[in-house]
């Protein structure tokens, strides 16, 4: 284990996480589903990477493969996930077994995770304090009393009212927003370098969502941690992310800074998604454009560019036969055969 953790990779100094060509397959009776089909992205220290995609695009599965928390019937079909801490310590996460001691020392300690459903993501029969204390005692070796103090501090940090009392509250006694705050306190309890937030505000109403986003932004700058923020909501991404990756059918189709994504998208899928967001004052009296067709069924993914059957720019003979390569425009990446075209005449969404 020691040799594994000390192995040095060639990673830029500012890099925290490198996800390289990760593939996750589900062998089902109906056929092989390539839920994640060669996803690569990186996260720099202290930055917020937004990952946008519709349901089933593989964004959560990719995040779980970072944590080695894939469902039991998933097959890890290749790829590498590497992490580099501020201390210079490096981990090859993809080499760790699902229940290995090595990955358990990363989970909860260096990577915290927030889940979508605050209603069910906390144990119903333990107080939130007890759940936070268990993690803190495990990774920081604190005594019970010290762990309790820390749990109260953490609850105060996530702006829980009356933390001294609510530390002994059970999840069902709290509202959804409060539970998500408790969940965040749990995830950041050991000052992780990376926080993975898997649709943390999807189950909340918009007011609470705004509060939670505000809280995450504040914690991020206070603790200097990086965040992978998974969502299907472009509005949320605009609010919190520094860079954005857009996923479609198990692949990343475009990665760019948040400004480039919104003002110079270079993939037709990103453009179509942006066009389908309602905006005040624009397009009044017109129907909101939608993306034609449906997400293909995972057992019959179209050949070539997986988006080609729904793409208004698709060129027959090219887009339906060849998988587009990654094309780079500075820091922007697009997997589209005709991305150059969008680079010349920016499409205003």
Partner 1 sequence: MLAFIGNRALLAIPTLIFISFISFVIIQLPPGDYVTAYAAQLRHAGEYISPLQEEMMRDQFGLNDPMIVQYWRWISDIVLRGDFGYSLEWNAPVSTLIWDRLMLTLAISSASLVLTWAIAIPVGVYSASRQYSFLDHLFTVFGFLGKGIPDFLLALILMWLAFAYLNMDVGGLFSPEFQNAPWSLAKLGNLLSHLWIPLVVLATGGAAGLIRVMRANMLDELGKPYVETAYAQGLSEARVVWTYPVRVALNPFISTVGWALPALFSGDVITAVVLNLPTTGPLLLQALKMQDMYLAGSFILILSVFTVVGTLISDILLAWFDPRIRNA
User: Considering only CA atoms, which of 116, 98, 117 is closest in space to residue 106?
Assistant: 98
| Contact predicate 154/185, CB 8 Å | yes
Q: Taking the complex as a whole, how short is the minimal distance between the CB of residue 118 and partner 1, in angstroms?
A: 9
Size of the site for partner 1 (CB under 8 A): 32
Contact map string, positions 68 to 87, toward partner 1, x by CB under 8 A: -x------------------
Please choose, out of 7-15, 80-88, 134-142, 304-312, the segment that lies near partner 1 by the rule CB under 8 A.
134-142
Q: Taking the complex as a whole, how short is the minimal distance between the CB of residue 332 and partner 1, in angstroms?
A: 32
Among 104, 232, 275, 313, which residue sits at the site for partner 1 (rule: CB under 8 A)?
A: 104
Which CB sits closer to partner 1, 77 or 130? 130
Contact map string, positions 167 to 206, toward partner 1, x by CB under 8 A: ---x-xx---------x--xx-------------------
Among 28, 86, 123, 292, which residue sits at the site for partner 1 (rule: CB under 8 A)?
A: 123
Contact between 135 and partner 1 by CB under 8 A: the answer reads: yes
Contact between 115 and partner 1 by CB under 8 A: the answer reads: yes
Contact between 112 and partner 1 by CB under 8 A: the answer reads: yes
Which CB sits closer to partner 1, 225 or 305? 225
Contact map string, positions 214 to 243, toward partner 1, x by CB under 8 A: ------------------------------
Which CB sits closer to partner 1, 138 or 156? 138
Contact between 5 and partner 1 by CB under 8 A: the answer reads: no
Residues forming contacts to partner 1 in the complex (CB under 8 A) are: 67, 69, 99, 104-109, 112-113, 115-117, 120-127, 134-135, 138-139, 170, 172-173, 183, 186-187
């Amino acid at each position: 284990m020691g040799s594994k953790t000390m192995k040095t990779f060639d990673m830029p100094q500012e890099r925290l996480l490198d996800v390289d060509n990760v593939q996750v397959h589900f062998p089902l009776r109906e056929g092989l589903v390539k839920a994640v089909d060669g996803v690569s992205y990186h996260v720099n220290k202290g930055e917020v990477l937004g990952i946008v995609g519709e349901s089933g695009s593989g964004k959560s599965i990719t995040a779980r493969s970072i944590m080695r928390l894939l469902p039991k019937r998933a097959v890890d079909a290749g790829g590498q996930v590497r992490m580099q801490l501020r201390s210079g310590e490096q981990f090859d996460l993809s080499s760790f077994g699902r229940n290995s001691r090595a990955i358990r020392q990363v989970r909860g300690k260096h990577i915290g995770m927030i889940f979508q459903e605050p209603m069910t993501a906390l144990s119903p029969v333990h107080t939130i304090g007890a759940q936070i204390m268990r993690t803190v005692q495990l990774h920081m070796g604190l005594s019970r009393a010290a762990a309790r103090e820390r749990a109260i501090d953490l609850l105060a940090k996530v702006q829980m009212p009356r933390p001294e009392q609510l530390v002994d509250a059970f999840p069902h006694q709290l509202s959804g927003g409060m539970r998500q705050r408790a969940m965040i306190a749990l995830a950041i309890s050991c000052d992780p370098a990376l926080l993975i937030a898997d649709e943390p505000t999807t189950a909340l109403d918009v007011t609470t969502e705004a509060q939670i986003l505000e809280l995450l932004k504040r914690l991020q700058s206070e603790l200097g941690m990086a965040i992978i923020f998974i969502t299907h909501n472009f509005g949320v991404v605009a609010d919190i992310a520094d860079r954005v990756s857009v996923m479609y059918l198990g692949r990343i189709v475009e990665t760019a800074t948040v400004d480039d994504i919104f003002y110079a998208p270079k993939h037709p899928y990103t453009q179509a998604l942006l066009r389908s967001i309602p905006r005040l004052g624009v397009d009044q009296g017109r129907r909101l454009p939608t993306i034609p067709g449906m997400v293909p069924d995972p057992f019959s993914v179209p050949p070539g560019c997986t988006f080609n059957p729904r793409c208004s720019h698709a060129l027959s003979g090219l887009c339906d036969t060849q998988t587009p390569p990654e094309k780079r425009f500075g820091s922007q990446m697009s997997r589209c055969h005709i991305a150059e075209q969008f680079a010349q005449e920016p499409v205003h969404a």
